[in-house]
Copies of this chain bind each other. A is one copy, B any other.
Amino acid sequence: MKAAVLQKIQVLTIEERPQPHPGPGEVSVRVRAVGVCGSDVHYYQDGRIGTQVVTAPLVLGHECAGEIAELGEGVTDRHVGQRVAVEPGVPCRHCDMCKIGKYNLCYDMVFLGTPPIDGAYREYVVTAADFAHPIPDSMRLDQAAMCEPLAVGLHAVNLSGMKPGDSVAVLGAGSIGLYTLQCAMTAGAGATFVTDPLRYRLDIAKRLGAGRTLAPEEATEAIMEATGGSGVDVVFEAAGALDTPQQCFDIAARGGTVVFIGICSRDVQEVQFGIARRKELTIKLVRRFANVYPRSVALAAGGRVDLQCAITHHFPLGDIAEAFRLVENYEDGVVKAIIEM
């Protein structure tokens, strides 16, 4: 099968690799669509994200969907040809984190496209059967691949503990921000504010129903004014910018909640905890997701969330480097580029 392999920093080649076959309880999936994630581009550019370093040739990609190609021994609740969204991280099911239900924190996680595990930019991937989630006929496979960033947003909303009527700000209108916004609206958000430096992304947020869309530098004042000086009940940081943590503290209401989703490219950030402390904020940090994939599929299938909103470009596998370049440079109104296979 074909696979796009990161040979070293900024060098991607298309190689022929042996096709994998499923073991007991597993399925193989013929991959049809893979979303280009910011983290893929990080690995491509820098060879690392934080402590996770690429030390050998690696296949990237973890936002993927396709059709089941082969069933492993004992798999009876899936069938060949079934269209599935692939949840990219399979946990060990035995460690303490798995047993308490936080399998996203598993000590022995196998996550597609995270060193040293090969990812989804290849024709076939093998995964646990229960992590290949069936999708309805009405969902396209490129949309199904977007269940991954949607799952991040839904997990973030679940962690926030938000209640109907809570005012909400989402900082960053990339794919995760846009899906988080929609999940927050599904959970009954009252007033909603979205910030992003890119106007075309704010336009998408507006179309999805955001109450106010704001450039980051004007957002603090505008949000405080719009809320009568009290700030918003829940802030979702989905920008990964250097100064958005502080802005979260500034715009959160007393007793409010701040959810950090974004990954900042700089390790160290400066913040004033005093502001957060005087408001007695709760800060929840988000690590991927757990137990939300079937619901992500269902919310999209039921029309509560528009998966399509973030998809702006499609590329064949052979043009993957061009896709990465586009995403890296925020060119041509890109939010999410899909690699079609």
Does A17 touch B at the CB level, under 8 Å? Answer: no
CB pair A105–B283 under 8 Å, yes or no, is no
> Known contacts A188-B188, A272-B268, A273-B264: does B286 contact A283 (CB below 8 Å)?
no
Q: How far is the CB of A51 from chain B (nearest CB, A)?
A: 8
Contacts of A98 in B (CB 8 A): 93
Range, interface on chain A: 35 or more
B271 engages A304 (CB within 8 Å): no
Question: Contacts A165-B299, A280-B286 hold; do A291 and B100 have CB atoms under 8 A apart?
Answer: yes
Q: How far is the CB of A263 from chain B (nearest CB, A)?
A: 7
Q: How many copies of this protein are present in the complex?
A: 4
Cα-based distance from A284 to B256 in the complex (angstroms): 11
Chain B minimum-CB-distance residue to A278: B287
Q: How far is the CB of A256 from chain B (nearest CB, A)?
A: 10
A36 to B152, CA, bound (A): 46
Binds B, one of A8-16, A156-164, A197-205, A327-335: A156-164
- The digit string for A162-190, where 1 denotes a CB below 8 A from any CB of B, is 01110000000000000000010011101
The smallest C-beta distance from A258 to any residue of chain B, in angstroms, reads 9
Selected from B107, B188, B269, B284, the residue in CB contact (under 8 A) with A187 is B188
Nearest CB of B to A341, in Å: 29
B269 touches A94 (CB 8 A): no
Tell me which residues across on chain B come within 8 A of A206, comparing CB atoms.
none
Residues of chain B lying within 8 A (CB to CB) of residue A186? 164, 188
List 14 additional A-B contacts (Cβ < 8 Å) besides A96-B291, A99-B101: A100-B101, A102-B280, A104-B280, A105-B254, A158-B163, A165-B299, A187-B187, A190-B298, A269-B272, A280-B285, A280-B286, A282-B283, A282-B284, A283-B283
